[in-house]
Structure 1
């Protein structure tokens, strides 16, 4: 057995081009070790070999040597790479092509991972990673599925590590539609991963570009995949060389400025890889010019009297706009927006829905530049919110939310929404109140006092409406506003509101979720009950007597007037009546908070002898203009009874609230069921209409078949008649032939009378009838009864002479019969032709 050759003694250059793969393997390993042991990126080892040699190393025919060659290339980039080296490798040498063709498509896991790692390192160093991505995307149309799947995996790794801010996805997005239509399932699977990674950075702007090119099944799968990562915030996992240098400079500056006692904090700061920065998903998309792509006859067709023409042209416009998430901003979109505003008044709701959707695409595409076009269409959209159909209402609400997200409460949104609450249609009031509630829930800065002064009168007006749905919408609006401004800010507006409605407002106030809050909104009410109940409970809990000032809700006329009754019992009973009948039902504004006069009197009563009732009365005496005080004695049993009544009232209010919510839910279900019933009725009507049309069509077919059957029957009768005539003619011709052939036959004398009888039978004239039926005189003639030889001979001669005439007459009769048959046919055809 031959000994193994030691190739390490050969020069490195010779081993790099050696035919034996083991020699090349030793050369690649030695080269990798030299790169790893280099002193810096300017070491001579990096210039000892030209960069072109790596193009040959990465395409080595032996898979083991190829994997070692990738390790050497990675060390070359890691220890000696910089921006100029990476740019030269990508743009001049074209190193990406061999990596894609031989590395990313390799069946060895180590080689494939090394190929992806080498690409990521080059992205770290190169100044323009778009050129590297373009080199990879050029191989996505290759016929080898393994190569295409490897390139997609590399792109996914690039965007997963660096994100769309470092590597713009403009070159990748146009290829996604073709990749999803690829025949290989591995390619489609890797494309899904890449698309999900792009969605983390681009959001809904990616779906608007990509979904029009996909099938509904593919869209459904992607939507479910997007939902799983919808709440994930994308973050760059790998730093570029520039970012590393900048971060090192910042850490060096911070370390120099801080004391040594803060070294631990500095070390902890080093753990952060990339600072979180806000980004706009539309910055990864190029603006599109759409006005020139609209149909040339757009204005003519949108003004057509036929609603189908208007719907068709709006669908074409929507197809153009939904593929353009970012629009060119230096164009004039005012004429287009005016057309959409005019469509808001269209009688066909499908036209309204399409116009709102198209305008929404324009608003999203323009962003902040939409504010100058907003006044053109905002009022019309607010007025059209009267539609109850869910699809139309959803399109209008989405458009309104988009306009709010762009301009906030400014841009006349607040004024138009408040004005919409005064419209006559109840649906307008509900939609505008809900829109204002959504705006307040998502507003980033608290509304100003002037804005609160605009919202609250509209909310209170809706709160007193006769319809429950409108009152509920107003409750949500006021409760959300109170969550931002606080209870104190809105107390002056809610003075005259009854307890039940205030309780609902406070319940919304506690459960509402907003993005901002003012300093006054820090303290929430302690319970869902109305503040009047709190004041009553606090007053009744004090021992001794309860004094009522001019602000008390208990009238003085409830004082005991009969001298026969005990004073304490009368006062206690009147107290119970007053608390249960008056103060718990309709509180006044003065009872919401304790008056300042009472607080000041309580503070100044420290020097008064509380044991003397007169002193207490002087200390708590109101000004002369106020009515006199009335004192009541509180019985502990009555106080317990009052507490029970309060709890019962509270339980009753909670039960009432639950019942109302259940009624509201049942009403919504009833509305949905009514809509379903109406849709089923419309379907039933359509099916009945189609069934009646089918039945009438079948009846028409049956009538036509009957007519055809009658025609066939008439034809059969005509053919039978014609056949009989032909038979008669054939029998006559046969008879004549026999007479011609045998003129002196003995039976001729016997056949002549038969012929004559046949002729007489076919005759239609009166003379024929006379011949057929001879007179009685002729029958009784002597010559007839007693023929002589002479007469017999004369008759024979006569028969011989008339034989030719009889055949002529038979022919005439035949012609007459034919004419008669033709007339009968004509009469039979006349009614058939009319139908």
Structure 2
């Protein structure tokens, strides 16, 4: 020290002219002071002081000491945690220590503090420690320091509130250094991978993704893609509405390729649990371990109390939108328009408004009533858009849509009668959305009503809807609801169409999957094996979300703990009643046989070597395929030692003293009335007993394998038999259908033959009539030509006297009022006789023959006019306005006869006959065409 004072007392030297000697001396003294400070022991100093020391080695030692102190603390209320809870800013320096070696230990100390310090320490230190963690810890060059930084964040999620931790991390996504952003994105990926989206809300992260994809650094974009893929594993397509529209098409395409790789992966599960979840699992594990055994006699597994993965949709992630205020005032006016185009445009505008993941609750009564009215619209395009609007409205409102269900459900189900598939698909999607907002109990009444609808399309689509409801519901139907569904499905099994019967079997199979085979048994009584097999197939293939939990079997009385091992036996998975120790053996068990004392064989020869020998009460399995309830595994510990006194054995294989080893391996002999005491030693050593045990186990395994093989063969044969029965039934039904078709075809063929025969007879009759008319017409013409005008007055008078009215009719062209009556009279006479009269008047002035009147009764006016012209008297040569001349009777009869006959010539007669013949042929062809024999010819 004297040298130091002398040096200080020396004259000062200017800083500009310091000598090298002075600088060297100063360095030496400074190093001495540093070494002196380092030699000071800070191990007894408080941990906060060591955390804030300026020497990094001291800080490093302090961090290491803190880790040891935290690990040996009994609980979080230990005094070692108090300084750090009162001054949480200490962790800001520890997590962001300037020295990388000290920082590594500081992050390890923070992890130990979070692990053992409890919730209070995590909540107080969160705001101080997270920023240095993502700024310096996640970007550290030391792998151990980086791993400790990630572990510290995961511990904050585990101990603290996860959403608060995410809020502290989000500012790092806007950091100016890209490496900090990339490291934070990687940390978020690990957080969601370990804890899942049920615990950590992904909304805030999803909103920040578009900005990440717009970053200039490729590493940031790559980490953003990895985070997006991890979120897709949990959310699937429900995450897309949050940010998908803000991405570029190229980015969307790249993400779709990455999504394809994880789309087929199983649903992810939470790998790391919070402290609260760990406490629940520990409680459940303790309860399951100490709870009574289940039906199979084994304690429940902890996995039984774990929750199923939760499905998240876009509704849970999106913000509600007020759609009611966006509906225009002209909507109700346009929806009631008489033009279908205006109605469809109004619904299209409504669809664009309600097409959002989440809709804010409001008054939509008028809108739903308008949509229900649109379900009855005649235009299917309007119906389809209305169904789409109902779907989006129900998905956007969720539970709030339940009050509109009664207004819209029945009209939609009634419209299922539409045969166009696009309409039924839209209606089905809308009904599924309504069901998702309600429950099975709310919709069961409408479903049961539509299952008995008269329209087959309505019944078919309702069956599909009911099956979808049973698969997606999370609530097990009540007993009365189960009965309604089962009765409806059983009734559908008797429908005439295969589609209906298959739908009924699918309903019953899905219900069986929910409530179990045992509960479904009463509903399947009376069904044949083929239908039961079909229902079982649908049950095995069904995937449901609601399952009836089996009720635990409560024992009638509990046995003492000491007797539980000996009294409780499980055979074939069925719990048996406890067996008392003093219970006598069954009657069928033989009494123990005594070995001959003189013929004691060596141990090797006395041991059985064949599994077929009866040893130790080993019995064949019963007919039911299960082992005998009296079978027991005998270990070497169960055989008494030679030095121990003989005691009554509780074994059920003996009636007195001794146990399994008291049986003789020789041929049984006569049993004495009261057997003497059995010697304890049967000559079997440990090796022989082990060999016996191996043989017994081998035989049991062989029998189990044989039973299993036989059971599988029986199941296969039953399935084949059921398939053959089903094929046989189908073939029989097809044969019967073919026979029915054949009988119908034969009857139709007989009817057609009768019609053809009738038409042939009518045709032949018409041909004979035409030929006869032609002959009669030719004969009359020739007779008229031969006679000329030489008819006598007497003949004319006879003709007139025979039928004066008829003569007057034909002379005057049938213009009198009585002409129609006279013609009907002639036709009636012709129809009554069926043939022409034998005698005809010789004069041309006579009336038509009955046959001619019959043929001309239904003819057209041209034919009637032609026939009238045939016998009409000649007109006067005067002007056309005059009436035709009347024939003169009395003295002018010859003149009248001459005038009547003068207008007839041979050429006109042939012409008239040809006209009549052609008209008759045309009528015959028309009649054949009406009967379907030939096509009409024109």
Relative to the length of structure 1, the TM-score reads 0.49
Q: TM-score, normalised by structure 2?
A: 0.45
